[in-house]
Structure 1
Amino acid sequence: MKALEPLLEWLSIPSVSTDPARREEVRRAALWLEERLKALGFRTELHDTPLHPILYAERLVREGAPTVLVYGHYDVQPPDPLELWESPPFSPAVREGRVYARGASDDKGQLFAHVAALEGLEAEVNVKFLVEGEEEIGSPNLLPFVRAHREKLLADVALISDGAMFAPGVPTLTYGLRGLCYLEVRLQGAKRDLHSGAFGGVAPNPIQALGWILARLKDERTGKILIPGFYERVQPVPEEEKALWPKLSEEALKGELGVEVLPGEEGFSPLERLWARPTLDPNGVFGGYQGEGSKTVIPMEAGLKLSMRLVPDQDPEEVAQLAEAYLKEVCPPGYRLRVQRLHGGRPVLTDPHSPPMRLMAQALEEVWGRPPVYTREGGTIPVVAELKEALSAPIVLLGLGLPDDNLHAPNEKLDLVNLERGIAVIRRFYELLGAGRV
């Protein structure tokens, strides 16, 4: 495949946005993409921010031609734990029709499909790119950029590939994303670590207190989140919308996850819990001794990282306030609690029947030989809600990954058939759009 070699080169750049030691590598990934777009005739602008640069590029073929804004991100998640990778995360490997590397699916591989689709394209469509290096840390600088450069970014449709198909061989259009509220919670007990023999029985233990707090966040039987006011803005999904959804095999999902049950909120189907209900999950717990063998210590501090996925019409700031107030309420006496808001994003719903979505559905059916299914997605892309508001234009979410791509985990991969057909679908979409088929 012609597109594979340059993609492997881009994937080899360790653009981990959350790691200060990788800052120059993150910038190098942006410069790599900038040069690639310049070679395709784009005029580019690299905008520095307090963290990582934002790349804007445009190729305007004719005034009045339809304009597409492509969004993506070139930053990636940390590769840890390294020992679980079958091949090094930044030495891309091709095995059995898949490319394995950090960023293969999220999002370098999917974004590169949009770049490769423009090679030799003759359709009369204006194309703009908005590419950031901070999506994996909540897009703190992109949202102000979008607000400040609204006129520059104006387009007839925003096109985004940073998600997954419903299943292998099943072309998919996504019309909804959950939002995110991400907190870090720290508990302090004594002013220093203490010997568990000398002080056990009188010293506060932040790990124990953390366990008590966690137990009061969700109901063990029903799975309901217990933060007062958390569900106040949550609306039920209309039956006509659920009729759009594909069928999900619960047994197949259990097999994929390697579990015997699918826990979650009582009274809702797995798809509802995955796409249209809010969640609360501890993503990390820390405190005390973590090394080999024993160390009899009562730690002075413990903490956890907590993510809450949100649905329309929940607001991340409001949810953060509700969560912080409840955490303080249930914190046992004798501990100092601190809550830090790390990042968030608003949920978004788009029109699954907008003209650009219908056009993309046609392109998908022509390339894959079957019509697409329509899904919401459980993840978050913070800028989508901002783009929807700023552009007042339809959003097309075209996922090219798969649910088993190991996003944010070892052995991330992208199936090459999805890359190849994704390129063909995007090209066909531009041809239909340029021919005035909307």
Structure 2
Amino acid sequence: MTQLDAVLATAARDFDNSLERLFRLVRIPSISTDPAHAGDCDRTAAAIVADLAALGFKAEARKTKGRPMVVAHYTPRNATAGMPHFLFYGHYDVQPADPLELWQTPPFEPVVKTEKGVARIYGRGTSDDKGQFMTFIEAARAWITATGSLPIKATFLIEGEEESGSPSLVPFLKANRKELSCDAAFVCDTGMWDARTPAITTRLRGLVHEEVTITGPRIDLHSGAYGGPAMNPIRVLSKVIAALHDRNGKVTIPGFYDGVADLPKAVRTQWRSLDFSEAKFLKDVGLGLPAGEKGKSVLEQIWARPTAEVNGIWGGYTGTGTKTVLPSKAHAKFTFRLVGRQDPDKVLKAFQRFVKGLIPKDCKVAFSGRGGGSPATEIPEDNPFIARSARALKDEFRRDAVLMGSGGSIPICRFFKDILGMDSILVGFALADDAIHSPNEKYNVESFRRGIRSWARIMGEFGA
């Protein structure tokens, strides 16, 4: 029996205890955004510290201006100068459980239910992110129990403010740059391609947001008295929104595509080979026709192309019935998803110039002043950490890992790169139907089991 065989056997024997340890964490309502739950966040951090300390980690909960950061270090007893050192990142805070009436079981009373032959763990935080980062800890536990040591140097960073914007994270990383810098960071806050196919996320889009207010007349006007000669700011705003895209779905802001590269042929080929139905993807949300850039597949649009979207628009009378008014002001919220080397600040300024160029002399435009954002993250698919992690995942699942993109943003990955100088390898075991941030959040028992086994294999891969 190899060391890895012994580790996987240990994980299997201890799996019921692994579940109970996860349940203990889920029972604590560690909602970071609600000051009433500050004590629960403290309790969760303390529980993680105690668990890691019992395994031989040097672990502590570090104070911040917000919720504590759990930092834990493990150096194997036979550590050598060339032994790889990895940072494992997760977050223990969770979203509020509201609306409570939509939960089928209490959100902080975890339960396993078998539905259509699939065992699922229900509870807030089971998938996002307690169940995910516990796969790290349980894999480490299996290695230490079976062999007496981890095969790598490990640093665990489990934060408590991810669901409230991570306000303490950047200052913490900068203040502890030397301590936290490793060969690479592993992030377990993403998903699989499907329930049988593992995935490594290599692309995350960045984000820019802005709010625009256009002012026309100094007061609301009677449309019978002023309709026609008076400029309506909603009409101006509508023209701005209509001008954002051309007939082929491309964004028309000058300079918007600076830093956007074509998708490598090998990546495009792999994505096209995936079992993905564009028609079903849209049909599931009541749509039927792709509306993005012509000539780009749906996956390419989501994972590798930038977007300009209107997230909200309002102005004038919006109550019941009719009020014949020309409003003084019209407002809209915009977001831009970024890819490649697009610069968030340049995109924001280009958008503001674009809007100003469409405003008639009789109107004024103001921006929120809160515009800001984060750049995209792209890890080359031939990165050696990705290649070796993919090999370990294939050993577990008996099929190749999909190297996929994500339409969303995980700013921590850019912080790790820009502040700590290391790439992030995103391996997660969540599924699309886990209902994260929603009532009845769940994590499949098999996702938890295979996650533990996968991390045990990845640790062994690099330890070898």
Question: How many angstroms apart in 1 are the aligned matches of 2:197 and 2:321?
Answer: 51
Residue 270 of structure 2: SS of its match in structure 1?
coil
**What letter corresponds to residue 387 of structure 1 in structure 2?**
F
Q: Which residue of 2 is the match for residue 315 of structure 1?
A: 343
**What letter corresponds to residue 90 of structure 2 in structure 1?**
G
Candidates 221, 224, 233, aligned match of 2:259: 233
Is 1:73 paired with 2:91?
yes
Q: Which residue of 2 is the match for residue 127 of structure 1?
A: 154
User: Bigger CA drift: 85-94 or 29-38?
Assistant: 85-94
CA offset at residue 271 of structure 1?
1.4
Is 1:276 paired with 2:276?
no
Residue 357 of structure 1: SS of its match in structure 2?
helix
Q: Which residue of 2 is the match for residue 105 of structure 1?
A: 127
Q: Is the 8 A contact 1:189 1:336 kept in 2?
A: no
Q: Is the 8 A contact 1:180 1:346 kept in 2?
A: yes
Q: Which residue of 2 is the match for residue 242 of structure 1?
A: 268
Per the alignment, do residues 235 and 432 of structure 1 end up closer, same or farther by CA in structure 2, a change over 3 Å counting? closer
- TM-score, with length taken from structure 1: 0.84
Q: Is the 8 A contact 2:92 2:160 kept in 1?
A: yes
Q: Which residue of 1 is the match for residue 70 of structure 2?
A: 55
Residue 432 of structure 2: SS of its match in structure 1?
coil
Q: Is the 8 A contact 1:69 1:159 kept in 2?
A: yes
Question: How many angstroms apart in 2 are the aligned matches of 1:83 and 1:209?
Answer: 42
CA offset at residue 401 of structure 1?
1.2
Q: Which residue of 2 is the match for residue 179 of structure 1?
A: 206
Candidates 315, 333, 353, aligned match of 1:325: 353
Is 1:169 paired with 2:196?
yes
Q: Which residue of 2 is the match for residue 223 of structure 1?
A: 249
After TM superposition, the structure 1 = structure 2 runs for residues 143-222 of structure 1, keeping only pairs within 5 Å, are 143-186=170-213, 210-219=237-246, 221-222=247-248
Q: Which residue of 2 is the match for residue 413 of structure 1?
A: 442
Residue 404 of structure 2: SS of its match in structure 1?
strand
Q: Is the 8 A contact 1:138 1:343 kept in 2?
A: no
Residue 119 of structure 1: SS of its match in structure 2?
helix
Q: Which residue of 1 is the match for residue 406 of structure 2?
A: 377
Question: How many angstroms apart in 2 are the aligned matches of 1:88 and 1:287?
Answer: 40
CA offset at residue 277 of structure 1?
0.3
Question: How many angstroms apart in 1 are the aligned matches of 2:404 and 2:308?
Answer: 21
Is 1:44 paired with 2:70?
no
Q: Is the 8 A contact 1:197 1:296 kept in 2?
A: no
Residue 121 of structure 1: SS of its match in structure 2?
helix
User: Bigger CA drift: 106-115 or 348-357?
Assistant: 348-357
CA offset at residue 421 of structure 1?
0.2
Percent of counterpart pairs with the same letter?
38
Question: How many angstroms apart in 1 are the aligned matches of 2:222 and 2:111?
Answer: 48
Question: How many angstroms apart in 2 are the aligned matches of 1:288 and 1:410?
Answer: 35
User: Bigger CA drift: 205-214 or 268-277?
Assistant: 205-214
CA RMSD of aligned residues (A): 3.4
Per the alignment, do residues 133 and 263 of structure 1 end up closer, same or farther by CA in structure 2, a change over 3 Å counting? farther
Q: Is the 8 A contact 2:356 2:365 kept in 1?
A: no
Residue 189 of structure 2: SS of its match in structure 1?
coil
Which digits, 9 at most, give the CA deviation of each residue in 1:282-315, with x for residues without a partner? 3445667888x56959777664443321111112
Per the alignment, do residues 78 and 180 of structure 1 end up closer, same or farther by CA in structure 2, a change over 3 Å counting? farther
Question: How many angstroms apart in 2 are the aligned matches of 1:206 and 1:54?
Answer: 47
CA offset at residue 29 of structure 1?
3.9
Is 1:10 paired with 2:25?
yes
**What letter corresponds to residue 182 of structure 2 in structure 1?**
A
Which digits, 9 at most, give the CA deviation of each residue in 1:72-131, with x for residues without a partner? 223344555556554554454543322334433332321222122222423332211122
Question: How many angstroms apart in 2 are the aligned matches of 1:330 and 1:13?
Answer: 52
CA offset at residue 15 of structure 1?
4.0
User: Bigger CA drift: 293-302 or 59-68?
Assistant: 293-302
Structure 1, gaps ≥5 residues long = none
Q: Is the 8 A contact 1:320 1:341 kept in 2?
A: no
User: Bigger CA drift: 29-38 or 78-87?
Assistant: 78-87
Q: Which residue of 1 is the match for residue 138 of structure 2?
A: 116
The higher radius of gyration belongs to 2
Question: How many angstroms apart in 2 are the aligned matches of 1:8 and 1:322?
Answer: 49
User: Bigger CA drift: 150-159 or 406-415?
Assistant: 406-415
Which digits, 9 at most, give the CA deviation of each residue in 1:180-239, with x for residues without a partner? 2233445567888x69799985998776665454333334x4222232211122111121
Q: Is the 8 A contact 1:135 1:382 kept in 2?
A: no
Q: Which residue of 1 is the match for residue 6 of structure 2?
A: none
Candidates 357, 363, 366, aligned match of 2:386: 357
